[in-house]
Homo-oligomer: A and B are copies of this chain.
Amino acid sequence: MTYELYYWPGIQGRGEFVRLVLEEAGADYIDVARGPKSKGQGLGPLMDILDGEDVERPPFAPPFLRDGDVIVGQTAAILFYLGPKLGLAPKSEIDRLWTHQIQLTITDLVAEAHDSHHPISVNLYYEDQKKEASRRAKDFREDRVPKFLNWFERILARNPHGDRHLVGKSLTYVDLSLFQVIEGLTYAFPRAMTRLLPDTPRIAALHDAVAERPRIKAYLASKRRLPRNDEGIFRRYPELDG
């Protein structure tokens, strides 16, 4: 069964959390909107699902995943769906709910990372909300990021199976998502993260361990991994880095 991932082409964005899971599992998938029109791929099929009048359960926004007849939107819900199928979720229901809770907290952090450069409107350019972004980014890197990082560090430390994973004794999708968040924050706020990351050594170690996993390492070196740019969630605007 080939999974179909639908996400805006050109940015890692929220789609990247799904890509990392598919890549780590070695799953068969198509990144539909990045594919060629000649194969029925590209932006067209994405817009058809988003805006098509005959779609019974249209997602609110990309990313969404198609698995046969099932369409699932919302990044955290996609991972909740995919995790067990791909061996990247814990076994028990209650552990799965805890894993999902962590992912939802990552979702909150990602939304705040986006708003650090777009505090007023997604419909305006950064340049049109630069002054407001400067205030919001200061709060984000001085208060919010440490609060989130300290929480992740704490739950790593309290995992009864050891601090190498957020849940249980082996890799789950939230480990991959936390890796991506650290990648993004380090890209966007290199100065702030140079200060902050040494205080959360378990997170730093988890990040480095994920980067060394054979499939992730191969993926990161491939063309499937989009280069970082300043169009997505995590943007490097030096003036926002304090």
Contact = CB atoms under 8 A, between A and B. Distances in A.
Contacts of A154: 58
B56 A72 contact: no
Nearest to A159: B56
A105 to B, nearest CB: 5
Given A120-B135, A139-B121, A77 B58 contact: no
Size bracket of the A interface: 35 or more
Contacts of A132: 119-120, 132, 135
B97 A77 contact: yes
A101 B123 contact: no
B121 A120 contact: no
Q: Give the number of copies in the complex.
A: 2
A115 interface: yes
A128 to B, nearest CB: 9
Interface string A87-122: 000000010011011001100100100010001110
A58 B120 contact: no
Interface string A183-223: 00000000000000000000000000000000000000000
Nearest to A136: B120
A135 to B, nearest CB: 5
A111 B60 CA distance: 15
A6 interface: no
A70 B96 CA distance: 12
Contacts of A105: 60, 74
Contact of A123 (B77, B139, B148): B139
A34 to B, nearest CB: 23
Contact of A74 (B70, B73, B104, B135): B104
Interface of A: 55-60, 70, 72-74, 76-77, 80-81, 94, 97-98, 100-101, 104-105, 108, 111, 115, 119-121, 123-124, 129, 132, 135-136, 139, 143, 148, 151, 154-155, 158, 160
8 contacts: A60-B108, A72-B97, A77-B100, A111-B111, A115-B115, A120-B135, A120-B139, A121-B136
